[in-house]
Each structure stands twice: as C-alpha cells, then as structure tokens.
C-alpha cells in the first residue's frame, strides 16, 4: 500500500512524520519476517522511537541532516514479496580475492555464506542506539533481512547493497551484523549503489564486534543515485588490542546521514577512521561519529576530508570521549573541509571530552577555499582554470583515498571521487 | 669601469633589425602589492636569443617584477605596459601567458600532494602544444621526452610518480622547476632566484639545464641576488633593480663589479 494519499503526509505538524512511520509499521508488522523474539524486538524499536520522538533540526545532533528529505518518502513499509532475481545491471565486476554477497532492496539475492562461516537468516538482534542514532530504530522496526557474519581467521568479504528502484516499495532496510573472532583478520567492503526510485529510502544498521586482537578493515563506498535518502547507523565494540579501520567514501544519495558509535572497550583497542564526502548540486552528507575510550591505551585516529560544491552541504561531527578508565589514551583528529560553491556549506565539529589526566590528544579542523598559491602555480604552467581547480580538489582528497589499500577498490573509489569533480580529465594518470 | 649608466628607458639593446619587436618589452611599469608601490617605472626589453640577469638587493622589486609578468593575483598594475611578442601581456590570464610561451620558475615552488609530477608535466605540455597547433603527445612519446630531461637534471625517474614537489628538498624543488621548463620549452623563461638554497653541485646541474635551453628562439631572464649563478649561466645583459627601478644596465662585468662593491655602490650613484 502506498501511503502518498495518507492525509498525514500533507500535515506540517512536527510529529506527522513519526505518526506516518508508526502507522506504516502497524500496518505491516504482521507480515514482516521473523520469530517471536524478532517481533518483540521490532515492537521495542517502535516504542523507543516513539518515546524519543522524530529527530528535529532544532537538535544540535541533527542540525545538518536533511530531515525534510524524509518527508518526501511515500511509504515507509518495505516490500515483503519474494526477493527479486539477481539479474541486476548495476552489479560491478567482482574484486579478486573477495567473496561476495548481494542484497537488492534489503533482501539477499546472491551469495553463499558457508565458506564465510556466516549465518544468514531473517531475524533481528536489537541494538541499543544513542539519541543521535535514533533512526537505527527505524531500520530495526522494518528490517526484512539481515546478514549475520561470524568470521574466524582471515576473510575478505564484499557486500553490495543495491537500490534497484524496481521494488514495490521505495523503502529498504538492510542489516549487517559482523563478529570478528579473536585474532581474525577481516577485510569487509560495503558498497551501496543503484539509481533507486524517486524518493526512495535506504535505512541500514550495522553492528560490529571485534574480539581481542581481531583486525577489521571496513571499506564503505556509497554511490546511490540522487533520488535516494540514505541513513546508516553503525555501532562497533572493539576489544583488547583489536583494530578497526574504516575507509569511507561518500559521493552518492541526495541526502545521507551516518550515525556511528565506536566503543574502544579493551586495553589497546584502536580505531582508524578515514573518510571523504563530496557533495554537489543539492546533496547533503552529514556524518556523526562518537568514539568512546573506555580502556587504557586506546587509540583513535580520525581523518575526514569533505568538499562542498555548488549548493551542497557537508557536515562532520567528531566527538571523542575519553573516560576515567582510559589512561594512556591517544587521539589524533584531522578534519578538513573545502568549500567550492558560493552557497555551499561545510560544518566540522571536533569535540574532545577528557575525563582522565594521562592523554595525548591532537586535533585540527580547518575549512576554507582553494589555496590561491597552489592555483596560481598550476595556472602558471598553462593548465586551464577549471582543470586546475579540479586537480586541487583531487589533491585535497588524496591522503584519504590513498588509505584504501585494495588497488581495484581504490581505483573505483578514485573514479567515484573524480566523478564528483567537474573537469578532471584523463583520470588514469592522476593517481 | 667608467661605463655610464644606460638610462632605463633605453636599456633595450639596440635591435639588430628594427622591424623585429622584442620578445618582451616592459615600459615604465608601476605596480603595487598589499597597498605598497613596489615597481616604480621599470623598463626592459628582451630579445629572442638573449640572456638577461636582473640583480638587486632584497626588497628591490625583483620577485614582484617576475610575478607581475606571470600574472599572479594580488599584484596591481598602476601604469605602464608589458608586451610579449607584440601582445599586451598584462591583459592575459596567467594560464594564457604560460601557453603563449612565458615560464615562471618559482622561488618557492609549492607542494601539491595527490597530483603527481608526470600528470602535471603532461597536462602542461599538452596545453602548450594545443596552443601551438601541435598534436598532443601520447604516453610513450611523453615518457621518452621526459626521460631525456630527467637525466639531464639528475632527477630520478621515480620522482615523476610522486606528488608535485611533495617532500622534495629545496634543491630538488628547484631542479624540478628547471625540468618543467625543459619539457615545456618556453620562449621566455623568468627564473626567480632559482639559485637560492642550492649547493654548488646542484647549482651546476641547474645551470646546465638552463644553458641547454639557450638558443636563438628563446630568451632567459634570471632574477638573482648573487653573482655566483652568473659564473655558470653567463648573461648577455645585467640590470640592477633598486627601489623599484632599473638603476643601471650593462654587460656581465657589471655583475662582477656589484660583487666587489656591493649594492650600496649603485644606491650611492643613484642618489648622486
């Protein structure tokens, strides 16, 4: 049932959207897959969201999110029909050495899990979300499928999430739950693509658990079409001497919001978060990352590069909390923003909350326009102005891009980044 | 030495053929930067085939002259003119000046991590070739051209794959400037303090590079504080810039005399 005719949709009252969401949920709850526990978890999620209320732009945590884009979502209930066949034109070539799972519109359509020691089945493991992650409940309410992977030893996994635009509903709710066993070494590629239907929504939850001495490198490429609203909510728990590295490239979706929380729970746990976001047109990229140091000698390295072109908006909130249990913690935060458009906007918010004396913390956040000295150097070599500007934007992203250590993926990430920059010629020679 | 100072406005060497316009002709140029007037009537004519050295104390306006001619933003022309092959140079955008054949070797070359040297060289070369109506070089032609030049400049080929000047030493940056010049083969090279920060070995390499470009069709203008560069690149003309004007012009013996007597000597004469 499409609810575009729902009278609530045209009511401007602040709670109308939440009312619609809850109404859609009540309408579909009985058809959603899962056992009694799953149903109970969904109901709890709906209750939590109802209690907390829909996020508001008046809330500092949601100020930069394009919440109005959600008003345009016709129906929040997902498609509960059988999964579409895996004949998807959008599927990119496989990456050598990576096993692949493909989800289309929130449903598994292709992939085997035996060799991954994975357990894929419909079901729900409810997570606890922070208020700034409250749209995680939205996914928990409506999720139709979940990838639950438990990995021991070494593994390389690629998961594609495709927004096909062919489902009967424009809303999809994929879930990914990954546990890396002690000492495991895992590379995970999470890729979001597909043009999607007009005003479609992908709301995804990711929960990650790294046992002691596990290493996870998590590559995230988001390249949805501009008609898609993308919301992802991520929660990661990192145990003793485990290392979680994120390499994130966000270029797609009309509006995207990432709400991430990483808990460094064991001694020596490390987070290395590197991300770029490039906005053009009216795009909004809003990233909120909270890191909690809860054990001694925990380490955070954060690197973010954002470019806002034309009328786009890019926001990154990096909150690092070092509590009294975390002496010897180290943090390094490097946030940089580049404004290209006359009415573009960048907002970088580093925040360091330190509750112990023994901490080494370095942070820097700068936003500006292209360096005129660099521009003049390129012009003085005869390079035309649009190309020179694009080259410098490319250079601005380069330290984040070079962290992507899977060559074929890095080439893909570079192609995506360059696709967001006008006038980059002859891409192959750039890298 | 009893050579009389040549009046600045006639500093141009007598044209051998009156019909041939100088490659670069600067007339009574006044310019300011940051609200301060730095050039106060510079006149200079440079013909194809010549090497000129512009010397002067710190703050005399040498670098300003180079920047003004290359079109750096923030430098405001108050009056005067500059033409390049008869075209009004000052009306051209910096990239147009470069494509017309003017090359500025920077005193402080910038680092651009993420854009590799080879890419910059190729993009710049092909822009210049398009301007000249030549076809763009393919990857193979480009590489063989660049290889011969890197060898001449004692630059390891691995530099080509690195970010522009990224992590280069001062001397490496200067050699890289000359490498770019050799690849682009400009009609006029303006080299701003290319010798500063170079040890004697690097100085010789840079001088070799510059000398290899000397020829009938090209001109080189060396902006320098010290005489020692001119031991290796022997200029046809030497000009002394003080307080925003060319106070004296001569041949290379003028540089030697400056070395002996210091810039105060010129200042004293100018004041007299």
Instruction: Please count the structural domains in chain A.
Output: 2
**Considering only residues 131 to 160 of chain B, which have any Cβ-Cβ distance to chain A shorter than 8 Å?**
131
Whether A276 maps to a domain, the answer reads: no
Please give the pLDDT value at position A93: 87
pLDDT in tens, B164-182: 999 998 999 999 999 999 9
B119: CB partners within 8 A, 6+ apart: A391, A426, A429, A430
A372: CB partners within 8 A, 6+ apart: B73, B74
Whether A305 maps to a domain, the answer reads: no
Whether A357 maps to a domain, the answer reads: no
B110 and A374 in contact by Cβ < 8 A? yes
| Enclosing domain of residue A192 | 7-265
Phi and psi at residue A216, to the nearest 5°: -125, 125
Dist CA A142 CA A140 (whole Å)? 6
Whether A363 maps to a domain, the answer reads: no
Last residue of a domain, one of A265, A291, A326: A265
| A228, pLDDT greater than 80 | yes
- B66: tokens are 């180079």
CA distance A219 to chain B (A): 20
DSSP one-letter string for A336-399: EEEE-STT-EEEEEEEEEE-SS-EEEEEEEEEE---HHHHHHHHTTT--HHHHHHHHHHHHHHH
The SS3 call for residue B57 is coil
B114: CB partners within 8 A, 6+ apart: A394, A395, A396, A397, A398, A399, A401, B163
Q: Which residue of B has its CA nearest to A372?
A: B73
Q: Which CATH superfamily is domain B8-110+189-271 in?
A: P-loop containing nucleotide triphosphate hydrolases (3.40.50.300)
pLDDT in tens, A365-423: 999 999 999 999 999 999 999 889 988 998 999 889 999 999 999 999 988 998 888 76
Q: State the DSSP H helix or E strand holding residue A275, giving kind and residue range, or none if neither.
A: strand A270-279
Dist CA A425 CA A280 (whole Å)? 18
Please give the pLDDT value at position A91: 85
Dist CA B252 CA B247 (whole Å)? 15
Which of B236, B249, B243 has the alpha carbon at shortest distance from B264? B243
A241: CB partners within 8 A, 6+ apart: A212, A213, A266, A267, A268, A269
Residue indicated by tokens 């394009």: A66
Task: Mutate one of B108, B119, B179 to test the A interface: name it (highest A CB count within 10 A).
Answer: B119
Domain boundaries, chain B: 8-110+189-271
Please give the pLDDT value at position A82: 61
Four-CA torsion A133, A138, A141, A145, nearest 10 degrees: -90
Burial B20-48 (b: 16+ CB within 10 A, else e): eebbbbbbebbbbbeeeebbbbbbbbbbb
Please give the pLDDT value at position B6: 44
Last residue of a domain, one of A198, A231, A265: A265
The SS3 call for residue A269 is coil
CA distance A402 to chain B (A): 9
DSSP-derived secondary structure letter, B234: -
Q: Are A376 and A258 found together in one domain?
A: no
B72 and A399 in contact by Cβ < 8 A? no
Whether A347 maps to a domain, the answer reads: no
pTM listed for this prediction:
0.85
pLDDT in tens, B112-147: 988 889 999 999 999 999 988 999 998 889 999 999
Candidate from B93, B113, B119 with C-beta closest to A429: B119
Last residue of a domain, one of A265, A294, A327: A265
Q: Which residue of B has its CA nearest to A402?
A: B114
Whether A33 maps to a domain, the answer reads: yes
Name every chain A residue with its beta carbon within 8 A of the beta carbon of B72. 376, 380
CB contacts < 8 Å between A and B, how many? 89
pLDDT in tens, A147-181: 888 899 999 999 999 988 877 778 999 989 999 99
Lowest mean pLDDT among A3-17, A213-227, A290-304: A3-17
Phi and psi at residue A81, to the nearest 5°: -70, 175
Dist CA A239 CA A354 (whole Å)? 21
Which of B199, B145, B188, B150 has the alpha carbon at shortest distance from B51? B188
The SS3 call for residue B166 is coil
Q: Are A254 and A381 found together in one domain?
A: no
């Amino acid at each position: 049932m499409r609810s575009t005719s729902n009278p609530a949709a045209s009511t401007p009252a602040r709670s109308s959207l939440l009312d619609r969401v809850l109404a859609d949920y009540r309408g579909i709850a009985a058809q959603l897959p899962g056992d009694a526990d799953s149903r109970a978890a969904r109901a709890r999620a709906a209750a939590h969201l109802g209690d907390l209320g829909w996020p508001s732009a008046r809330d500092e945590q949601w100020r930069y999110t394009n919440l109005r884009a959600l008003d345009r979502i016709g129906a929040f209930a997902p498609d509960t029909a059988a999964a579409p066949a895996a004949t998807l034109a959008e599927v990119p070539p496989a990456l050598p050495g990576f096993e692949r799972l493909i989800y289309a519109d929130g449903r598994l359509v292709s992939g085997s899990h035996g060799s991954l020691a994975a357990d894929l089945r419909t079901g729900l493991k409810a997570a606890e979300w922070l208020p700034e992650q409250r749209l995680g409940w939205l996914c928990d309410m409506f999720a139709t499928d979940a990838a639950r992977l438990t990995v021991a030893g070494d593994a390389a996994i690629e998961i594609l999430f495709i927004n096909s635009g062919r489902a009967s509903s424009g809303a999809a709710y994929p879930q990914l739950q990954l546990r890396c066993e002690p000492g495991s070494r895992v590379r995970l590629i999470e890729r979001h693509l597909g043009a999607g239907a007009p005003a479609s929504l992908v709301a995804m939850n990711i929960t990650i658990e790294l046992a002691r001495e596990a290493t996870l490198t998590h590559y995230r490429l988001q390249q949805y079409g501009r008609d898609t609203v993308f919301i992802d909510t991520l929660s990661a728990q990192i145990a003793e001497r485990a290392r979680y590295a994120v390499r994130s490239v966000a270029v797609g979706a009309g509006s995207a919001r990432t709400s991430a929380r990483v808990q460094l729970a064991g001694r020596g746990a490390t987070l290395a978060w590197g991300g770029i976001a490039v906005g053009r047109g009216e795009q909004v990229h809003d990233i909120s990352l909270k890191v909690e140091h809860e054990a001694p000698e925990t380490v955070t390295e954060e690197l973010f590069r954002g470019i806002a072109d034309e009328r786009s908006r890019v926001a990154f909130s990096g909150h690092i909390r070092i509590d009294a249990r975390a002496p010897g913690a180290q943090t390094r935060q490097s946030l940089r923003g580049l404004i290209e458009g006359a009415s573009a906007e960048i907002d970088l918010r580093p925040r360091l909350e330190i509750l112990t004396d023994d901490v080494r913390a370095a942070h820097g956040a700068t936003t500006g326009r292209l360096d005129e000295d660099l521009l003049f150097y390129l012009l003085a070599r005869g390079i035309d102005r649009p190309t020179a500007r694009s080259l410098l934007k490319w250079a601005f992203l380069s330290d984040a891009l070079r962290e992507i250590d899977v060559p074929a993926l890095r080439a893909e990430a570079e192609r995506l980044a360059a696709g967001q920059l006008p006038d980059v010629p002859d891409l192959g020679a750039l890298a | 030495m009893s050579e009389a100072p040549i009046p600045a406005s006639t500093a141009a060497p007598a044209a051998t053929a009156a019909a041939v316009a100088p490659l670069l002709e600067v007339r009574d140029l006044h310019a300011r930067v940051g609200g301060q007037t730095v050039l106060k009537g510079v006149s200079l004519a440079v013909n194809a085939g010549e090497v000129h050295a512009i010397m002067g104390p710190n703050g005399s306006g040498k670098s300003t002259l180079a920047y003004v001619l290359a079109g750096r933003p923030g430098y405001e022309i108050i009056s005067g003119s500059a033409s390049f092959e008869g075209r009004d140079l000052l009306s051209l955008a910096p990239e147009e000046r470069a494509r017309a054949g003017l090359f500025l070797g920077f005193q402080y070359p910038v680092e651009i991590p993420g854009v590799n040297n080879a890419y910059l060289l190729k993009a710049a070369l092909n822009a210049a070739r398009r301007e000249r109506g030549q076809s763009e070089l393919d990857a193979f032609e480009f590489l063989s051209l660049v290889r011969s030049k890197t060898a001449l400049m004692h630059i390891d080929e691995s530099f080509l794959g690195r970010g522009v000047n990224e992590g280069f030493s001062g001397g490496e940056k200067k050699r890289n400037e000359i490498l770019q010049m050799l690849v682009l083969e400009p009609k006029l090279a303006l080299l701003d303090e290319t010798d500063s920060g170079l040890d004697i070995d690097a100085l010789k390499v840079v001088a070799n590079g510059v000398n290899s470009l000397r020829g009938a069709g090209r001109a080189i203008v060396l902006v320098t504080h010290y005489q020692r560069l001119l031991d290796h690149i022997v200029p046809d003309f030497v000009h002394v810039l003080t307080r925003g004007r060319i106070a004296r012009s001569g041949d290379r013996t003028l540089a030697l005399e400056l070395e002996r007597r210091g810039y105060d000597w010129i200042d004293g004469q100018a004041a007299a």
